[in-house]
Every structure is written in structure tokens, then in C-alpha cells.
Chain A
């Protein structure tokens, strides 16, 4: 059901900054290169009789060639819809019979396939056999491609009617222009219509290479078993020259404002600009600073001023989405049309003030207490640890990332935050998108 049967006080603020840290015991990460060339990160843990595995590849939507948007997404989507010797039904039935589950992630940088299975030998063996086949011998069958294209196109057309999707698309275009980061992750209707099996196999051969793969393994297996698993999952991946890198992101943009009409009762407002890459030296000051400004849930400035004091919106947030190249810095909120302009002005004024003055010492202290104190919550489950292994491996973060995290947060100063925001965020050069704009102002 489109279930409205539970209301939550606040939708989760998109804390996409995969900040992690533990002043307490952090998991011991084992690390090696498989014979295939893939990097492997492994945490051995026998508390629960289960195993989580993820294989991450630099095969996200930003690798779509111009005019071919949607190829990367469909290649990822179709991995488990037919592989050598296995029909799509063999795959889903085989997994269901043993209670195993595939999951996955797809974003501008990364395509990943993950597996959760019981760790008992029979189940684990069968699940890994299917995963190995799906990853290394996908077929992209013609008839299934036609069916899935129709489904993707239907979903894209549906998204074009939704104010939040319309806003996202316009926002990315305003930030990234012709850069691949501007492309919608699932592609555009016109280019998806033209995708062929050849497009998918070509993309697969170029972007699903063992040398670029990062394997994360978490759970109830030994080191020897983990080594065999990593090789089993990547030994048969394509090999060849690495794919070309992406062009640089132009982080300085000029101010822009788009008002797009929509019959919704609310205006969906996005304000932002290109932000930082995952390896930016300013990552910690910006992460902590944003926590204070709009990332820290109920205690953030945006939440206080926009929601608590004025009742303008249910959801209001800001975040940095750090990618291989500078991902977006984004502020978002929804409010009824009649007060949209007032809310927008407030947010702009708050951003300008934050960039000019930075946070107070008191705010910084509170943010540090929260981020450092909540560190154990980031690592209280196998799945969460698996996700950190993937991020650390994929973005080449130090293996001590989790051990260093709380110290790096602790070292951040008010001056550093102010300085980092000034260098990265120019309040006078933000892109603004308002979908469902107030009637009189809409073009």
C-alpha cells in the first residue's frame, strides 16, 4: 500500500555525508587485493549466523555517454534478470528458496549489488553461486530489455508529474549544466527508448571491471572463506583498460532562479550549488558546520527557524552530498504556495548569515557532542558496517577512517567552519528552483 498508516514526526534528514566515527571499539577491518585485482574489505563477526556482501563498481549514471543516459542504470537493474544458464525466474526463485536477498545501490558514481544470506554452508554456497553468475555472466536478454525499458519509461513519465522529481531534475541541471552529474540517474525518456542490448553489454564490459571493483564482506565467515568469496565474485569480471575519468566539475556557478508551475498545494524549494568531493580536505569542517546549519535534525538552525518558530514547513534540511567529484550542497523545503516567497527569503538570509559569521562556540560544542556521542549508533548492525566498508573502499578513504572520525570532528573549530564555508559556498551564487511556485510569479 502507499501506506499512510504510520506518521513519523520527521522524515529522516538526508544525512548523506557518510561520516563515521567511533571513540569506542571500531570493527577491525581486514584488507587485501584479490587475485582478480579487486579490493576487498572484510570484517569477521560470528555473533549472528548470517553474511552480508557487497560488490561496488564505478559504473554509476555519470558514466553514461552523452545521449545515452539510462544505460548505466539499466545495466545495473538487469544484472539479475538473466545470466548464463539462469533465467530471471531461476535467479529469483533460487534466492527465495533459501531466504537470501539481493539489494543494491545506484548513484552518479557507483553501482553496487549486495547480498544477505544465512551463513550456513548450503544457503551461503547457493546464494554466492547465483551472485557470482549474475555479476560475471549477465545476459541482458532482448525481450526482457524491451519490457524493462517500458517500465522505466513509465516510471520516468510518472516522475515528471511529481513536484519533487521535477525540482531535482531542474536543480541538477542548474548546478551541473553539461557535466554528467546533471543527468538523471535513471536517464531520460528519449534516450532510454533507444537503448539496445549492445549498449548494455558494451557498458558492462567497460565499467564492470575487476580492477575497479570493491568487495565488502561482513559477518559469519573466516578470512580464508572471505578470500575465496571475493575471488569467486570478481575473478570472472571483464578485464581491460580502465574507463576514462569524468571531466572536472565547475564548482562556481552564477546565481539562477527557476519558477516552474505545478498544481500542487505546496511549493517545493531547492537552493544550492556544487559542494565538495569525498576527499576534500574541508570535509570535516563542512560536515560539522552543516550539521549546525541544516543537517542536525531538530536542533539545526533551519529546523528551528523555519519549522519550530514559524511553522512554515514539515521538512527542511541541508546537506553536502560528497561524491568522487564535488556533489551538491542542497537546502530543501516544502511549504504552502502563499508563504513560499517568505520562506525562501528567510532561508537565503540564514545561509548568508551563516557563511558570514559561522556558528557560535555553543552551537559547535552541541554539534560535537551529538556527532561524537552518536558515533556508536552508526555501527550497531552488520548492514551499517557493510555500508561503511563499501564507502571506505570505493572512495579510497584511509582504513583508519572510523578510528579517526571522532578525533577529526573534535578538532574542528568555529574559524575553520567559517573559513571552509566562505571558500565553498557563495550565498550570492546559488541556484534556486521552485516547483509549484506561487501562481502570480510562476512563468
Chain B
């Protein structure tokens, strides 16, 4: 058994005395990596199991299968009948759920600390004993289709986002929605679920994160007991996808029933790959904070409060992912303003950034928020476990957390200006516009001024 313990103090700055935020790590013989974060404030524990398999690992024609399988994981094993997983967790006073993203699929339970063995037993069981019946599968795909209708088809902003991703990316699987295209959902078979499960659900493709009022050594022993006997599986090599550089701006319009137009500008941006050496992703993180990190951040201050061109604005960037990253700006025009005016206003903000950079006060302000956020996150054991699980599944490792904080602290104002200049360029840009359509029977409205001919 390969055993080693890591102990990481999360903040070196001595900002708070409770910095004994210890993280312990141990890998079972079958390849399951177990990570424990002790937090003794309340007698509760969270178990999260993360599989390195998300929608980006799907093949063409079976989009949505990662997420459908996530649903099927509650539909019974050889010894635990359908629905019983949830019943037993509920009877133990637990709360549970699961989630699927582009990059991973994860399952979790929150319970009283005394119930951890039960949760482990059930989670370990469905890691290798899932029963997939055609009948259950058909019904559950119907549930997922309803989910798709609710979240995407009838949600104009989500619909626009889906179509935007399919435009931004041409080769990388991020172009497919996590929930899957409706035509694929119609065509999925239980054999697709079986193939997905057999391919990815194995201890050596998973990370177990346990956080809460537990003792790391005891957790490792429990993990060995419940997960240890599950055989490792040969993992065929993973197909690595890339997205070639964008060679010119793209633009799309989406028509959907809504009142207000909406604009999203998505720029291709770098992803964090070498946390100790990279600097651009950190500078882009700070840039997102300067634009939209607080009430007095630039976009809100300039576009909503001063110029009153936009009713709402936003900026976002996620450097932590398996695939390519985007830096996005978005805005809803205020009454009487057009998407063209709002786009021009966003472009003026970019030009100003590139020309004059940001002030030291702005930089200091964003860093103060980062530091405070590190303290606030200690109020949520669940969130801390999430952060660990995400960094582990995308391959950076939880040890990256303090490195990232340190590197964020080192970003200079000039670096922020440089990344704005390098990445917020038209050749890397996709512009998506929601063109609102009247509901049938409701007269069209004049707000927005979106040109309909195009």
C-alpha cells in the first residue's frame, strides 16, 4: 500500500489563526485517491466521489450520456434496489445529490459523522455493481428530456449559451451541451449507459474527498474497507481534444421569446496548466474582478451607474478546467439602448484597459476580496471539499490551492493590462446576441431596438 500524508497550511500570510486547514491524502492499491479535510466545527461530514469523466469525454451521437448515467446511478445495484440508495441515505438523516459538468461527474452525501460508513458502503457498491435495466433507463431519459426542456429549451439565456458554445468551439467537445442534444437523448440506449459505466467507473479513475468532523487515519481505514476490494480497471488511453486557434471573429443571433435583448462577448483565453509558473491566468482572474468583482467594479460603475447604457452587466473567467477557457463579458441594454450601443460601450472599456491599465487601488481592492474570501470559505465544509475535488479531477491537485493564492497576490497592474491587450482581441472573439421575440398573442415591444433583419 502506497501511503503518504500531506499536510498543507492553506494560507501562509498568517491572516487568521485557524489556518490549520489540514489536507491529508492517501492512495489505495486499486488506485483510488482519498483526500481528507478535517474540520471539527460541527458533527457532520461530507462524502464526495469524483469521476474523471464528464461530457467532454463523450463521443459524437451519444451526447448527454455522462449526465444520464449520473441519473442511473440511483437506479439500483445487485443488492440495493432502485430508489433504495436515496431511502437509506434519507433514513440516516442524510442529504445527497450529484452533478455532471464538462470535465467530471460527482456524487455527494452530507450526514452526521457517525453515518460515514453507511455512505461509503453505498457509494462503493454503486461504483462497481450498478444494474442498468432498459425499463428504468427509458423512464429516466424522459426525466432528462424534461430537464432539458426546463433548463435550456424554455430558457432563452441558456439556449443562447448553448448555441454560443457550439459556435465558439468547432473541434473541442465543449461545443456539445452537457445535457446532450435532444436528438441524441431520443436515440440513447441502455447499452450506451453500460458502455459509459464500464469505461469510466473505476477506483483508479476516481477521487474520494471526505471533509468534516473526522479523523484522517480512520477515514483511510474505512476507505480501505469499503472501496479497497473494488478491482482496478485498465484505463484505455484518453482521447485528448484540442481547439485550433480562432482565426477571426464570429457572431450569432438567437431568437427566443423574451422581453430584453442580451449580449455575450466570449474571448478565447488561456487555461491554468502550470500553477507555479503560469501568470496570465492569474492576471485574467484579477481582470475579471476589476471588471465585475464588486459593486464598484468597472462594468457596473461605468455602464450601469454612470452611462446607464446597461441594465445589467457581468464578466467571467474560469482558469481551472480540463479544456479551453473563455473570458466573457455580458450585458443587457437598458431601455432605449441597443445591443450595438452596449457592445460599443464594452469595447470602450476594453480600449481603456489596454491604454491606461488599472489603478493600484483597483488591484488592492480585488486582492482584499480574494483574501477575505479565503476566510469566508471556511464557513462551508462542502465548498472546501468541492474545491479540492475540482482541482484533483482536472489534474492540478489540491496542493495548487495555496500556490494559486500566492500567485494571485503577486499579480501586478501592468500584467493585468498586458493580458487585456493580448486576449481581448477580435480574432479571439465570439459575440452572441439574444434577439427577443414576442410571445404569441402578445404584441411586440419597442424596447431593445434589436435589428431583426440579418
The answer to whether A150 touches B179, judged by C-beta atoms less than 8 angstroms apart, is no
The answer to whether B157 touches A376, judged by C-beta atoms less than 8 angstroms apart, is no
Mask, A280-323, CB within 8 Å of B = 1, is: 00000000000000001111000010011111111100000000
Which residue on B lies nearest to A9, using beta carbons?
B98
- Closest Cβ of chain A: how far from B186's Cβ, in Å? 13
CA distance A261 to B440 in the complex (A): 8
Which residues of the partner chain A approach B378 to less than 8 Å between Cβ atoms? 48
- Closest Cβ of chain A: how far from B261's Cβ, in Å? 11
CA distance A299 to B93 in the complex (A): 12
Among A66-74, A153-161, A207-215, A412-420, the stretch that binds chain B is A153-161
The answer to whether B149 touches A7, judged by C-beta atoms less than 8 angstroms apart, is no
Given known A-B contacts A49-B17, A92-B295, A265-B153, A9 and B99 have beta carbons under 8 A apart = yes
In residues 371-401 of chain A, which contact B (Cβ within 8 Å)? 371-377, 379-383
- Closest Cβ of chain A: how far from B310's Cβ, in Å? 9
Given known A-B contacts A366-B90, A369-B90, A375-B93, A97 and B365 have beta carbons under 8 A apart = yes
The answer to whether B150 touches A266, judged by C-beta atoms less than 8 angstroms apart, is yes
The answer to whether B179 touches A7, judged by C-beta atoms less than 8 angstroms apart, is yes
- Check if A151 is an interface residue, CB within 8 A of chain B: yes
Which residue on B lies nearest to A94, using beta carbons?
B296
- Closest Cβ of chain A: how far from B11's Cβ, in Å? 11
Which residue on B lies nearest to A291, using beta carbons?
B90
The answer to whether A100 touches B372, judged by C-beta atoms less than 8 angstroms apart, is yes
- Check if A230 is an interface residue, CB within 8 A of chain B: no
In residues 339-374 of chain B, which contact A (Cβ within 8 Å)? 361, 364-365, 368-369, 371-373
The answer to whether B445 touches A157, judged by C-beta atoms less than 8 angstroms apart, is yes
In residues 15-57 of chain B, which contact A (Cβ within 8 Å)? 15-18, 41-44
The answer to whether A266 touches B143, judged by C-beta atoms less than 8 angstroms apart, is no
- Closest Cβ of chain A: how far from B23's Cβ, in Å? 18
- Check if A3 is an interface residue, CB within 8 A of chain B: yes
Mask, B261-275, CB within 8 Å of A = 1, is: 000100000000000
The answer to whether A96 touches B293, judged by C-beta atoms less than 8 angstroms apart, is yes
- Check if A18 is an interface residue, CB within 8 A of chain B: no
Among B1-9, B124-132, B217-225, B327-335, the stretch that binds chain A is B327-335
- Check if A194 is an interface residue, CB within 8 A of chain B: no
The answer to whether B379 touches A370, judged by C-beta atoms less than 8 angstroms apart, is no
Interface, chain A (partner B; CB < 8 A) = 1-10, 24, 47-50, 80, 88-89, 91-93, 95-101, 116-118, 123, 147, 150-151, 153-155, 157-158, 160-161, 163, 261-266, 296-299, 304, 307-315, 334-336, 366, 369-377, 379-383, 436
Q: Could you jot down 29 A-B contacts, CB within 8 Å?
A: A1-B264, A4-B179, A7-B178, A8-B98, A50-B375, A96-B296, A151-B311, A154-B311, A154-B334, A161-B257, A161-B439, A261-B440, A264-B153, A265-B153, A266-B150, A298-B90, A308-B139, A366-B90, A366-B91, A369-B92, A370-B94, A376-B93, A377-B110, A377-B111, A380-B41, A380-B42, A381-B42, A381-B379, A436-B154
